[in-house]
Amino acid sequence: MYNQYLEVAKEAARAAGAIQLAGLRRQLRIETKSSPIDLVTEVDRMCEAEIARLLNQNFPSHQLLAEEGTVGGDAPDFRWIVDPLDGTTNYTHRYPFFSVSIALEHKGRLVVGVVYDAVHDEMFEAVAGGGAFLNGQPIKVSDTPTLSQSLVCTGFPGDQAGNQQVLTAWEKISLRCHGVRRDGSAALDLCYVACGRLDGFWERLNPWDMAAGWVLVSEAGGRISNFQEDPFDLYKREIVATNASIGPELVAVLKETLQV
């Protein structure tokens, strides 16, 4: 039912990925947004413009919620949620871990998720009820049974209090598992949970960082909640995504560490 939307999302993600790869070969203009470490480049804006152009060409009435502020139509039922370049800090340093994230919300429910890693030519895709795929092959979350055998990942919100809470959780969790990573593209981090490369992930994020990844993890058999183990809400800035088995143990540590 949602396949026509999936195909356009993949086309837009590939187009943005090509812009990202081309941008790596030239000098970048880097600006800051809300703080000295909140970066944006002309490539973020070029990717968003191209994605918006393709979505608008195919679905002119659909709404658009995109990180760099491009807006779409006003159809009440369809909203695309787009992060044109997730991992801008990595990108500006030419550290090869960044992605494009495109999701579709239909009547308030996330139904399509696409995350594209152009460097590794990895296309993660999922449609509600249809399973999750990496380059056309089905994927599922890991079967790691306990936190002590797991590899997990997180990110830092950028403000001092929030960063300190993540460091406290990092210390506690890293002493109880194989390792904690900070990879720098939340959308891709969630896809790594979906395909079993990571066993869990947590962070405070914006909707465009999480929307597509949520579809991937859900369709790959993972478990997603907020830090208090309440149901996930895309518009509240908390996500814990796991392979389900390590979920209760990871959430127990986060509950005592991460206060709102």
Residue closer to ligand IPD by CB (options 68, 219) is 68
* Cβ count within 10 A of residue 35: 9
Does position 209 interact with Ca ion (CB under 5 A)? The reply is: yes
Does position 86 interact with Ca ion (CB under 5 A)? The reply is: yes
Closest CB 48 distance from Ca ion, rounded Å: 9
Residue closer to ligand IPD by CB (options 66, 251) is 66
| DSSP H or E stretch at residue 116 | strand 109-117
The DSSP annotation for 52-109 comes to HHHHHHH-TT-EEEETT-------SSEEEEEEEEE-HHHHHTT-S--EEEEEEEETTE
Residue closer to ligand IPD by CB (options 222, 245) is 222
Do 250 and 152 touch, CB atoms closer than 8 A?
yes
Give the β-pairing of 239-242 and 200-203: antiparallel
Does position 186 interact with ligand IPD (CB under 6 A)? The reply is: yes
Does position 142 interact with ligand IPD (CB under 6 A)? The reply is: no
Does position 125 interact with ligand IPD (CB under 6 A)? The reply is: no
Does position 249 interact with ligand IPD (CB under 6 A)? The reply is: no
Residue closer to Ca ion by CB (options 189, 209) is 209
Does position 87 interact with ligand IPD (CB under 6 A)? The reply is: yes
Residue closer to ligand IPD by CB (options 44, 219) is 44
- Could you give the angle at which helices 186-194 and 207-219 cross, rounded to 10 degrees? 10
- Report the length, in residues, of the chain: 260
Does position 83 interact with Ca ion (CB under 5 A)? The reply is: yes
Select the binding partner of residue 125 from ligand IPD, Ca ion, none (C-beta < 5 to 8 A, by kind): none
Which residue in the set 5, 17, 67, 253 belongs to the binding site for Ca ion (CB under 5 A)? 67
Give the pair of three-digit tokens for residue 136. 């056309």
Do 203 and 239 touch, CB atoms closer than 8 A?
yes
Looking at residues 10 to 69 of the shown chain, list those that interact with ligand IPD (rule: CB under 6 A). 67
Helix/strand/coil for 144: coil
- The overall longest dimension of the chain from CA atoms, in Å, is 51
* Residues within the interface to ligand IPD (CB under 6 A): 67, 83, 86-88, 155, 184-186, 203, 205, 209
* Residues within the interface to Ca ion (CB under 5 A): 67, 83, 85-86, 209
